[in-house]
Amino acid sequence: MSREMPPAHPFDDDKLKEECGIFGVIGLTDAANFVALGLHALQHRGQEAGGIVSHDPELGFNSVRRFGYVRDNFTRQSLMETLPGPLAIGHVRYSTAGAKGAAIRDVQPFFGEFSMGGAAIAHNGNITNANALRRELIERGSIFQSGSDSECIIHLMARSLQRNIPERMEDALRRVEGAFSVVAMTRSELIGVRDPLGVRPLVLGQLGEGWVLSSETCALDIIGATFVREIEPGEMVVISARHGVESHFPFRRQQPRFCIFEHVYFSRPDSIIGGRSVYETRHQIGVELAREAPVEADLVCPVPDSGTPAAIGYSHESGIPYAMGIIRNQYMGRTFIEPTEQIRNMGVRLKLNVNRALIKGKRVILVDDSVVRGTTSRKIKEMILDAGAREVHFRIASPPTAWPCFYGVDTPQREKLLAATMSEDEMREHLAVDSLRFISLDGLYRAVGEAGGRNAKCPQYCDACFSGEYPVAPSDMIEKGFELKAAE
Residues comprising the binding site for Mg(2+)? 306, 368-369
Cβ 461 to ligand SF4 shortest distance, Å:
7
Helix, strand, or coil (residue 20):
strand
Choice between 225 and 448, CB closer to ligand SF4: 448
Choice between 152 and 199, CB closer to ligand SF4: 199
* 264: nearest Cα among 250, 277, 281: 281
Choice between 263 and 381, CB closer to ligand SF4: 263
Binding mask 370-409 for ligand SF4 (x = CB under 6 A): -----------------------------------x-x-x
Cβ 334 to ligand SF4 shortest distance, Å:
23
Q: Are 46 and 410 in contact (CB under 8 A)?
A: no
Question: Of residues 103, 199, 202, 237, which one binds ligand SF4 by CB under 6 A?
Answer: 199
Helix, strand, or coil (residue 484):
coil
Phi-psi region of 387 (alpha: psi -120 to 50; beta: other; left: phi over 0): alpha
d(CA 63, CA 145): 16
Span interacting with ligand SF4, options 33-41, 141-149, 326-334, 458-466, rule CB under 6 A: 458-466
Question: Of residues 261, 279, 394, 438, which one binds ligand SF4 by CB under 6 A?
Answer: 261
d(CA 363, CA 392): 6
Burial environment of residue 172 by CB neighbours within 10 A (0 to 12, 13 to 18, 19 or more): buried
- Does 417 bind ligand SF4 (CB under 6 A)? Our answer is no
Question: Of residues 260, 303, 358, 380, which one binds ligand SF4 by CB under 6 A?
Answer: 260
**What does each C-alpha distance from 273 to 164, 258, 439 come to in angstroms?**
32, 10, 20
Choice between 417 and 436, CB closer to ligand SF4: 417
- Does 259 bind ligand SF4 (CB under 6 A)? Our answer is yes
* 399: nearest Cα among 437, 439, 431: 439
User: What are the residues whose beta carbons fall under 8 Å from the beta carbon of 85, sequence distance 6 or more?
Assistant: 30, 31, 32, 54, 55, 56, 57, 59, 62
Question: Of residues 41, 402, 465, 472, which one binds ligand SF4 by CB under 6 A?
Answer: 465
20 catalytic residue (yes or no):
yes
Number of residues that bind ligand SF4 (CB under 6 A): 11
Span interacting with ligand SF4, options 51-59, 232-240, 446-454, 456-464, rule CB under 6 A: 456-464
Distance from the Cα of residue 33 to its chain's centroid: 23
AA letter at 79: L
Rounded to 5 degrees, what are φ and ψ at 318?
-90, -20
Question: Of residues 48, 369, 463, 476, which one binds ligand SF4 by CB under 6 A?
Answer: 463
- Does 52 bind ligand SF4 (CB under 6 A)? Our answer is no
Report the binding-site residues for [4Fe-4S] cluster: 259, 405, 462, 465
Question: Of residues 190, 402, 464, 472, which one binds ligand SF4 by CB under 6 A?
Answer: 464
Cβ 465 to ligand SF4 shortest distance, Å:
3
User: What are the residues whose beta carbons fall under 8 Å from the beta carbon of 195, sequence distance 6 or more?
Assistant: 125, 173, 176, 178, 179, 180, 181, 233, 234, 251
Cβ 466 to ligand SF4 shortest distance, Å:
7
State the CB neighbour count (10 A cutoff) for residue 294. 15
Residues found near ligand SF4 in the complex (CB under 6 A): 199, 259-261, 405, 407, 409, 462-465
- Show which residues are catalytic: 20
